Structure 1
Amino acid sequence: MTVETHSFQAEVKQVLHLVIHSLYSNKDIFLRELVSNASDACDKLRFEAIKQPELLGEDGTLAIDIRFDPQARTVTIADNGIGMSREELAEHLGTIARSGTKKFLESLSDNDKANAQLIGQFGVGFYSAFIVADRVTVTSRRAGSDQAWTWASAGDGEYTIAPAEKAGRGTAIVLHLREGEDEYLNGWKLRSLVHKYSEHIDFPIRLPAEKADADEEKDEGASGGETLETVNEATALWTRPRNEISDDDYKAFYKHVSGDFGDPLVWTHNRVEGNQNFTSLLFVPARAPFDFMGGGRDERKGLKLYIKRVFIMDAAEQMLPPYLRFVRGVVDSDDLPLNVSRELLQSSRQVERIKGALTKRVLDLLEKLAREEAEKYAGFWKEFGATLKEGVADDPSSAERLMKLLRFPSTQSASADELVSLEQYVERMKPGQEAIYYLTADGWNAARNSPQLEALKARGIEVLLMHERIDEWMAGYLTRFADKPFRNVAKGELDLEKLGEADGADARARREEAAKAAEPVVEKIKAALGDRVKEVKVSTRLTDSASCLVLGEYDMALHMQRLLKAAGQMVPGAKPVLEINATHPLVQRLASADEAQATDLALLLFEQAQVAEGAQLDDPAAFVQRVNRLLLS
């Protein structure tokens, strides 16, 4: 018999080291992860058997068996699912292809290394076996093959693969327990873990029947030859009536289907009958997985799709739009053909109707949460708000509903966490205010301290502060809400006449007089700046600051231009307008300055406005020299 020895992929070695030496806070997870993998193997066989019924053979019963042997100190988890070939053993157990693994390793600081719940979230569940075992052997035979193979490792950086004998298809994982882990050689303990973590798996989970002799001896001796009995519900939870399912049942099923150790935030369970018949059980997580944003829009871990309780795919991207990719759960349809391929599924009109119904269901759930449990919704928004914003652009048919769910800080917020809805904003609008004012910026401080806000603040006008990177893109799709147009205060002309004057009735006259007096200054600044700016004008936006930069109505925000340029993308050139505060001492000083000093002051006004926008100056050293000259003069 030829035994092959291989080294683990480098990232697997790191995971194994952490599992063996650090992740001990919840050792029980190993059984949940291994049973979940066995369930997936049974699901995959059932799916492949749609086209190849011979894979199931005469006995089509799929099950997961758990045995324990106190003498040998082993626990065995066996299934008669799809099984693995030699190549699949090496690929699935020797390497980790998931990009999330690096993020997983980075997430484990010294303080969080005891957080074993992270294992299931990063697709490394098999390795949790090494929490309780110092040696693991996996014997597997692929359905349709006569050849079996055994994979074995002590978690020391290497594994072996050798030919083996196995009577039927499937996989058997034998855990050789570490010293001190004898609690898992007990039938009661294993049953309790199955009930806790795997109660609603759609396959029988069987353990040796408990003995009931005169001495009431239970679970003594090797259990391999004993009669097996089913210890879980072994029915799909979503097929049961809602009035028969407790909240604890829903929470347990969520943990099984999502790999999350925490409880879901909210869920919805529905059966739709009519032109289409399908059942959905959808969960909104309370927290985002560690790799959620790192995976981006391409990292889809959404709904499990079943057709007449036959598993089809694990992350059905077609069932929900990308901006709802945080939703977990299952969809079981009666209407879609069983032999549907992924390509046909994507183009199916029936699938589009189901997708529309599920999207509506999730938005209903979020609207109810926002309306009835504002504090919970605030927690949801903190975790998934940026993702939900994508829908304003991606899903025009739901844009109005999504806008009601949006939350932003404003100029009335004490911190970035104090948020306001668009409905609340509209209710607080001042008399004469016709638009919803907002500002996009590259950060909370840049937004709340922006000079473009000064005139509106002075008039008591609330402005929404959109300080996340996605906001500039999303804002391009915000047109109207409650029949009020959106208005970016940093772009285009800002007509403030209808909002009244902040400094009395004669303020406008004083401002016009100062603007007229500043005309020579404007010309000096234009001459000094040349083609750096599109135009120089006296501002109506400014009350305290000396200058600010203003873009055209449809120009891209400066911070977004910088971001795209840094990413190597072409950005359309759009020169800003420099607006100056005619009453500011620095501007007034420029009127009497000589040519050299006037040039320094003009450049300083421009560079100050750039700094306020968070820009990187083209020549910081020249800026410092200019400041020093002006200070010394």
Structure 2
Amino acid sequence: MGVEAHKETMGFQTEVKQLLNLMINSLYSNKEIFLRELISNAADAADKLRFEALSDDALYEEDGDLNIRVDFDKEARTITITDNGIGMTREEVINNIGTIARSGTKAFFGQLTGDQAKDSQLIGQFGVGFYSAFIVADKVTLKTRRAGTTKEHGVLWESAGEGEFNIETIEKATRGTEVILHLREDEDEFLNGWRLRNVIRKYSDHINLPIIMQKEPVPDEEGNIDESIIEDETVNKATALWTLSKNDITDEQYKEFYKQIAHDFQDPLSWSHNKVEGNTEYTSLLYIPSKAPFDLWDRDRMHGIKLYVKRVFIMEDSEQLMPRYLRFIRGVIDTNDLPLNVSREILQSSKVIDTIRAASVKKILSELNKMANNEPEQYAEFWKEFGQVIKEGPGEDFANKEALAKLLRFASTETGNADQTVSLEDYVSRMKDKQDKIFYITAESYAAAKNSPHLEVFRKKGIEVLLLTDRVDEWLVNSLTDFDGKHLQSVAKGDLDLGELEDEAEKKAHEEVEKNFEDLVDRVKKTLDEKVKDVRITHRLTDSPACLVADHYDMSGNLERMLKAAGQQVSASKPILELNPEHPMVAKLKDEQNDEQFSDWTSILFDQALLAEGGQLDDPASFVKKLNAMLLQRA
């Protein structure tokens, strides 16, 4: 019985159209990677079949020998990549090829500049897979059938890569996928067996299943070729790279293997290859990328580490193998100590996985520490790409908090720029005699942090303050409360306590000033009433008349604003208003007898302090009106 063709024409998702156009124009100089990407997809399809067949042998149908074939036809001007892996249903074809359903896609396209060299690097972070076929082909035909379905459930997909594709139901006798590339006019170089073999050996030598091509015919002594003799050969080594000895692997092979598993176009920054023997035996090959993937901020997308059991692929998106703050790590872990039919549920409670994960995390952190100490410039590049993610670590990974703390980098009042280059060890080495705290401030931007009134006394005394301006910093300082025995102290929370950095004479003078201003403090407190938790005289200011401080256990103003901006319900905590007794405005306020003017001046001081913090006024019009009236009085 024949198949009733269910044929339709569909449009690509807008982002796919953009990607196709960008790829054809930007990646042309490295066009041979199309073969690597399509072979990598074919290998993934074989891995998926192996895994699903663990619980259903019938998926192998009549062919259990998994392989990939690469053929070319000079007359038809086609290259065909065929696998007998898992295959796809019609719905899977539409979802996997017609759309890019990944979070962060729009942000990725928003970064594109139109500069082909820069954009081609961005594509490497995105991972292109199937779409790379259009670099060399002006039409691509795909035939596929999912393992476990009958021959009537084959799918034919075809597109010229110009905005739409055709899809129809066909008969396909064998499971798996066949991709036929109809080459562009000027791509004859790939209609050559030697050229294709070189590309396969360069990029895909260590795909761990055979990549088969038809043998090149060898002429006899008289130069004749017998075209009736057709033989196949395996082009690649077909040996999993991670199973080889480190001494037998070149740096180039390590880099190409990374590009194959990560679908990245750039070399990794570093890698670590380890074979562990003992109570738990496993091999790990872990890579630190040089550039952040476009979906780095999708904390739920855990797709970096491929888990193999006895060299059989089990799964890739296993959070159990790497914590979320290391979600950018790519690589392979292969163990003999788990059952082949291991499930995610079993992984969650497996002591073997716990051991492997703990050791792998320590290995990565050790690599990063080595890089930070021995190759600071390389580490600075790493930090620019992944620093904000590493800052998630101390809150998630108590066991490695100390190691993570050494990897952190911050901007500081010492460096005079926004670059995050200062380590906590650097800070401690520069601390003043008798200084027992690490001082920091959190703010929405470097400018807001650097110019905060809270830094005035620290600048006067030459005390370094860390400037924390990443959103994640608010969570970081809640979990990382000390380093090297020194407490981390916000300069914008609680009482200013400089400890022994202030001598007795200074402390006594402060007490005298506070006594002189007791009446003013009471009067301001009554005027502001519900707006503040408390009012007090401060010695942290040298130039500003007032500032707002969060109570020691209250949420910082910066965090409160961030949560509100994210749409979260936050019960607002009242700030403490601190007044600078040395400032002329505060001195004038102290002498002001007119209650109405006193109230206006007090409100203006409070609102100014709020604005300096990066806060928003409840009633901006009232602030402007009072400020104008005050200016007119002085005019």
TM-score range (shorter-chain normalised) is: over 0.9
Q: 1:607 aligns to what SS in structure 2?
A: helix
CA offsets per residue over residues 171-225 of structure 1, 9 Å max, x none? 111111121121211222212221222222111112222233269999x99x998
Kindly indicate whether residue 450 of structure 2 is the aligned counterpart of residue 451 of structure 1: no
- Give the letter aligned to residue 7 of structure 1: M
Q: Give the superposition deviation at 1:66.
A: 0.8
1:576 corresponds to: 575
1:533 corresponds to: 532
Whole-angstrom CA distance in 1 between matches of 2:274 and 2:512:
68
1:97 corresponds to: 101
1:556 corresponds to: 555
Whole-angstrom CA distance in 2 between matches of 1:600 and 1:228:
91
Q: 2:257 aligns to what SS in structure 1?
A: helix
Q: Give the superposition deviation at 1:286.
A: 1.2
Matches within 5 A, 1:223-234: 226-234=230-238
Paired residues of 2:125 and 2:291 also in contact (CA < 8 A) = no
Residue of 93, 110, 122 corresponding to 2:114 = 110
Q: 2:317 aligns to what SS in structure 1?
A: strand
- Give the letter aligned to residue 10 of structure 1: Q
Paired residues of 2:12 and 2:165 also in contact (CA < 8 A) = no
Residue of 288, 291, 301 corresponding to 2:292 = 288
Whole-angstrom CA distance in 2 between matches of 1:360 and 1:6:
51
Matches within 5 A, 1:38-437: 38-57=42-61, 59-112=63-116, 115-116=119-120, 118-119=122-123, 121-122=125-126, 124-147=128-151, 148-213=154-219, 226-293=230-297, 295=298, 297-417=299-419, 419-437=421-439
Kindly indicate whether residue 599 of structure 2 is the aligned counterpart of residue 609 of structure 1: no
CA offsets per residue over residues 408-465 of structure 1, 9 Å max, x none? 1221111111521111211211111111111111211111111112112212211111
Paired residues of 1:208 and 1:229 also in contact (CA < 8 A) = yes
Kindly indicate whether residue 630 of structure 2 is the aligned counterpart of residue 626 of structure 1: no
Q: 1:72 aligns to what SS in structure 2?
A: coil
Whole-angstrom CA distance in 2 between matches of 1:47 and 1:387:
32
- Residues 434 and 87 from structure 1, CA distance in 2 versus in 1: closer, same or farther, beyond 3 angstroms? closer
Q: 1:264 aligns to what SS in structure 2?
A: coil
Q: Give the superposition deviation at 1:478.
A: 1.8
CA offsets per residue over residues 125-179 of structure 1, 9 Å max, x none? 2122122212111112322333133222222433333344444222111111121
Whole-angstrom CA distance in 1 between matches of 2:574 and 2:374:
47
Q: Which range moved further: 52-61 or 237-246?
A: 52-61
Q: Give the superposition deviation at 1:247.
A: 1.1
Q: Which range moved further: 151-160 or 62-71?
A: 151-160
- Give the letter aligned to residue 577 of structure 2: L
Whole-angstrom CA distance in 2 between matches of 1:258 and 1:614:
41
Q: Which range moved further: 486-495 or 306-315?
A: 486-495
Q: 2:489 aligns to what SS in structure 1?
A: strand
Paired residues of 1:42 and 1:81 also in contact (CA < 8 A) = yes
Q: 2:440 aligns to what SS in structure 1?
A: strand
- Give the letter aligned to residue 198 of structure 2: S
1:492 corresponds to: 494
- Residues 107 and 225 from structure 1, CA distance in 2 versus in 1: closer, same or farther, beyond 3 angstroms? farther
Query: TM-score if structure 2 supplies the norm length?
Result: 0.93
- Residues 283 and 20 from structure 1, CA distance in 2 versus in 1: closer, same or farther, beyond 3 angstroms? closer
Kindly indicate whether residue 545 of structure 2 is the aligned counterpart of residue 546 of structure 1: yes
Q: 1:136 aligns to what SS in structure 2?
A: strand
Kindly indicate whether residue 41 of structure 2 is the aligned counterpart of residue 37 of structure 1: yes
* Identity across matched positions, percent: 53
CA offsets per residue over residues 578-607 of structure 1, 9 Å max, x none? 001001011111123332322222112111
Whole-angstrom CA distance in 1 between matches of 2:514 and 2:200:
78
Q: 1:66 aligns to what SS in structure 2?
A: strand
Q: Give the superposition deviation at 1:105.
A: 2.9
Whole-angstrom CA distance in 2 between matches of 1:109 and 1:407:
29
Q: Give the superposition deviation at 1:35.
A: 0.8
Alignment RMSD (CA, Å): 2.4
Q: 1:195 aligns to what SS in structure 2?
A: helix
Whole-angstrom CA distance in 1 between matches of 2:124 and 2:412:
38
Q: 1:193 aligns to what SS in structure 2?
A: helix
- Residues 506 and 146 from structure 1, CA distance in 2 versus in 1: closer, same or farther, beyond 3 angstroms? closer
Q: 1:315 aligns to what SS in structure 2?
A: coil
Whole-angstrom CA distance in 2 between matches of 1:630 and 1:85:
74
Kindly indicate whether residue 463 of structure 2 is the aligned counterpart of residue 461 of structure 1: yes
CA offsets per residue over residues 481-536 of structure 1, 9 Å max, x none? 211222111111122351036xxx86555544443333333233223212111111
Q: 2:28 aligns to what SS in structure 1?
A: coil
Paired residues of 2:301 and 2:317 also in contact (CA < 8 A) = no
Whole-angstrom CA distance in 1 between matches of 2:367 and 2:435:
33
Q: 1:2 aligns to what SS in structure 2?
A: coil
Whole-angstrom CA distance in 2 between matches of 1:38 and 1:351:
28
2:5 corresponds to: 2
Query: TM-score if structure 1 supplies the norm length?
Result: 0.93
Paired residues of 2:453 and 2:544 also in contact (CA < 8 A) = yes
Whole-angstrom CA distance in 2 between matches of 1:41 and 1:596:
78
Structure 2's unaligned 5+ residue stretches are none
Structure 1's unaligned 5+ residue stretches are none
- Give the letter aligned to residue 608 of structure 1: Q
Q: Give the superposition deviation at 1:560.
A: 1.2
Whole-angstrom CA distance in 1 between matches of 2:556 and 2:232:
67
Paired residues of 1:211 and 1:217 also in contact (CA < 8 A) = no
Whole-angstrom CA distance in 1 between matches of 2:241 and 2:23:
31
Q: Which range moved further: 9-18 or 618-627?
A: 9-18
Q: Give the superposition deviation at 1:267.
A: 0.9
Whole-angstrom CA distance in 1 between matches of 2:422 and 2:24:
47
Q: 2:551 aligns to what SS in structure 1?
A: coil
Paired residues of 2:61 and 2:147 also in contact (CA < 8 A) = no
- Residues 228 and 530 from structure 1, CA distance in 2 versus in 1: closer, same or farther, beyond 3 angstroms? same
Paired residues of 1:23 and 1:114 also in contact (CA < 8 A) = no
Whole-angstrom CA distance in 2 between matches of 1:398 and 1:209:
54
CA offsets per residue over residues 353-390 of structure 1, 9 Å max, x none? 11111111111111111121111111111111111111
